Amino acid sequence: MSSKSKVLVGLSGGVDSAAAVLILQNEGYTVEGVYLHLQQDDQNISRANEMAKCLNIPLHILDLREYFEEEIIRYFVESYRRGETPNPCVRCNERVKFGKMLDFALEEGFDFVATGHYARIVHEKDSSKIYKASNREKDQSYVLYTLSEKQRKHILLPLGDIESKGQTRQMLLAQQIPFHDSEESQEICFVEKDYRDFLKGRGFVPETGEFVDEEGRILGKHRGIGYYTVGQRRGLGISAPEPLFVKEIVPEKKQIVVGGAPSLMQLTIFAKEIHFFDDIPEGPVEAKIRYAAKPATCRVFLENEEHLRIEFDEPVRAATPGQSVVFYRGDELLGGGIIC
């Protein structure tokens, strides 16, 4: 890349985004920062400003609070109303970090945007491909499967080859950047503690209903479908001779179907809102049915224009509607969809 290429880095005030800036500066890029103002968070804005000064880069403040509320938080709440368990990070990366932030960067004359994501991106002549990070424990490629080619060709991921968190901390220490002990980011940035409390604060009124077994027999009352997820065992309050788990949520009936542990195992699942970087892959691939899941070998087939059928070699446990199923071949990210 040209030493004159301009990069806009999403700067949060944490270790990873600061390390991304340092790596890009060392590689000869002209770097500026941008703080994405998504909530009322004056303390974090102050931290980002302090970091920008330490890194000796300008900082832009991009106010996306209204957009974030409409596109991410509303989606989060409505997903629970539908009996789904959403992954807002996938949607946020597509529409906010590599959506609105990239739009702003291109309008301001930048060539690329960069973040502190742990994933690798390789720019080839006709395409840009995403791969798992060298640091497997922190790999975040799972949440990037919805990115278009137009988005990918303007993205840099400087932390993709970092082997450990210790390396990024050492980079900051070497430059006397006083943020090396910053806390790790939360999994869902806008939920402070319990997502149920967050839902209540957004006007989510739980409607009680019935727990039923796989034959439809009523076993008791539940507090509201938004308070449960497939695979859940704790907090059901049902007396039974064997442990029971949430097998299925049926929002139209306000029912939660429960069953024993074997009922959670599936050889075939389906997905909607499908996105692949290239054609739907033939032959065996590996799939992750949630962010922290181990990859499982499967084959994928187009069921119809809107749905994908995924057939696993071995049963997978608790495939959860609303979560993403994401496909790989080796380290290469192929695409994914929303489990339905």
Is residue 54 flagged as an active site residue? no
Residue of 54, 89, 92, 298 marked active site: 92
- DSSP-based three-state secondary structure for 227: helix
Provide the 10 A C-beta neighbour count for residue 283. 7
Whole-angstrom Cα distance, residue 313 to residue 324? 19
Q: Is 181 exposed, middle or buried (0-12, 13-18, 19+ CB in 10 A)?
A: exposed
Task: Look at residues 8, 2, 6 and name the one whose alpha carbon lies nearest to residue 104.
Answer: 8
- Cβ-Cβ contacts under 8 Å for 173 (sequence gap 6 or more): 180
- Cβ-Cβ contacts under 8 Å for 60 (sequence gap 6 or more): 8, 32, 33, 34, 35, 104, 108
Token digits for 170?
């050492």
The DSSP bridge partners found for residue 248 are 257
Instruction: Specify whether the CB–CB gap between 135 and 116 falls below 8 A.
Output: no
Instruction: Specify whether the CB–CB gap between 22 and 33 falls below 8 A.
Output: no
For CA atoms 96, 99, 104, 105, the dihedral sign is positive
For CA atoms 308, 126, 19, 69, the dihedral sign is negative
Tell me how far CA of residue 86 lies from CA of 80, 178, 189, 205, 323, in angstroms: 7, 35, 14, 18, 6
Tell me how far CA of residue 133 lies from CA of 9, 24, 129, 280, 320, in angstroms: 19, 17, 12, 23, 25
Catalytic residue IDs: 92, 189
